[in-house]
Amino acid sequence: MRVLTGITTSGTPHLGNYAGAIRPAVAASRQPNVDAFFFLADYHALIKCDDPQRVAASRLEIAATWLAAGLDPEKVTFYRQSDVPEIPELSWILTCITPKGLMNRAHAYKASVDQNEARGDEPDDGVNMGLFSYPVLMAADILMFNANRVPVGRDQIQHLEMARDIAQRFNHQYGAGRDYFVLPDVQIDEDVATLPGLDGRKMSKSYNNTIPLFEGGAKALPNAIARIVTDSRAPGEAKDAEASHLFMIYKAFATPQETDHFRRELADGMGWGDAKKKLATHLETILAPMREQYVTLMDNPERIEDILQAGAAKARRLATPFMQEIREAVGLRNGT
């Protein structure tokens, strides 16, 4: 079974990226019969990030994070989206068979329109064509490698349905009896929570509300945790763990027993200051060994680059001949 997932290179990787995407993906890649494709979504980053330095730094940080988290580049196809030119080429061909009405309904686009309307602005203010048509690029990412399974957060279910829709349209229009594209299935892991950020919204690189995974060293972790918003209950007062963002983060990194213990301590009146210290110590125990690997990798960007180049070559061994077939199917020169 082929599994594919990517992370946008729009900032420093955070606890949410790790618990929600990297940790389960690396675990899945170790299972037998899983052919994993993990990529750095740097074309996607350009949709929301116009700071070249941030995109460049993020590429390196996210690559080092995947590797420090245990990704085995020998086993997994690990590549940078922009090193595979067949992906944007396929994206254009898919753009030409995608109805505009389908994109009008995409959540990411609609969310921006809703925000604009709520502010009394023009509906499309600040919306670029990248944001509008990004489900097509996402479809190209997935369909290029005929992935069967795509693990995503709930917010991405609709975009994955669009990828299936686009694949079906292509197969129907150009297939002449052949299904060029596999219809990908969404994989939602019920156990993986969406981690809240420092301000209570979803932890997200583009909201600047994150707790960085490794960047900033051991000191950054307690400093960021100290900024998590908590309610005003004083030490000694019972606290509702389930309503607390701090607890949700702890839970994503703890065993059920540890989680129960923490829940009881909060109910028994542990102060938020102590709860924050406890979360910081707990995370440090888990993250410190990986951070060491991360620092070593960040000191050696050439090694990361070599790994990514080898991954791109591996990806293109599939993408190049497949793209030739697609070109031929739509009537373009075959390119060989």
| Number of Cβ atoms within 10 Å of the Cβ of 75 | 12
Q: Which residues, 11 to 40, sit near ligand ATP by CB under 6 A?
A: 16-17, 19-21
203 annotated binding-site participant: yes
Q: At what angle do helices 272-298 and 52-68 cross, to 10 degrees?
A: 90
In the complex, minimum distance from the CB of residue 197 to ligand ATP, in angstroms, rounded to a whole number: 7
Q: Are 211 and 199 in contact (CB under 8 A)?
A: no
The CA-atom distances, in angstroms, between 90 and each of 8, 81, 136, 322 are: 19, 12, 9, 10
Distance CA 37, CA 41 (A): 12
**Closer residue to ligand ATP, CB minimum distance, 283 or 323:** 283
Rounded Cα gap, residues 303 and 64, in angstroms: 10
Shortest spacing between CB 157 and ligand ATP, in angstroms: 11
Given the complex with ligand ATP, which of 16 and 135 has the nearer CB atom? 16
Kindly report the length of the chain. 336
Q: How far is the CB of 91 from ligand ATP (least distance, A)?
A: 18
Ordered strands of the 149-151 beta sheet: 77-80, 35-41, 2-8, 149-151, 185-187
Q: In angstroms, rounded to a whole number, what is the distance separating the alpha carbons of residues 199 and 204?
A: 11
Q: Cβ neighbours of residue 200 under 8 Å, at least 6 residues apart?
A: 229, 245
155 annotated ligand-binding residue:
yes
- DSSP letter for 149, please: E
CB of 252 to ligand ATP, least distance (A): 8
Name the helix (H) or strand (E) containing 72. Answer: none
Of 3, 71, 87, 195, which lies in the binding site for ligand ATP, with binding defined by CB under 6 A? 195
Total number of residues binding ligand ATP (CB under 6 A)?
18
**73 vs 212 by CB, closer to ligand ATP:** 212
Binding of residue 194 to ligand ATP (CB under 6 A):
yes
Interface residue with ligand ATP among 80, 205, 239, 263 (CB under 6 A) is 205
Tell whether residue 189 is among the known ligand binding residues: no
By beta-carbon proximity to ligand ATP, the closer residue of 57 and 97 is: 57
Options 203, 224, 279, 323; binder of ligand ATP; rule CB under 6 A = 203
Q: Which of residues 44-83 bind ligand ATP (CB under 6 A)?
A: 48
State which residue, 14 or 239, has the beta carbon closest to ligand ATP.
14
95 appears as a binding residue in the annotation: no
Residue with the shortest CB distance to ligand ATP: 20
Binding stretches for ligand ATP (CB under 6 A): 7-8, 10, 16-17, 19-21, 48, 152-153, 194-195, 202-206
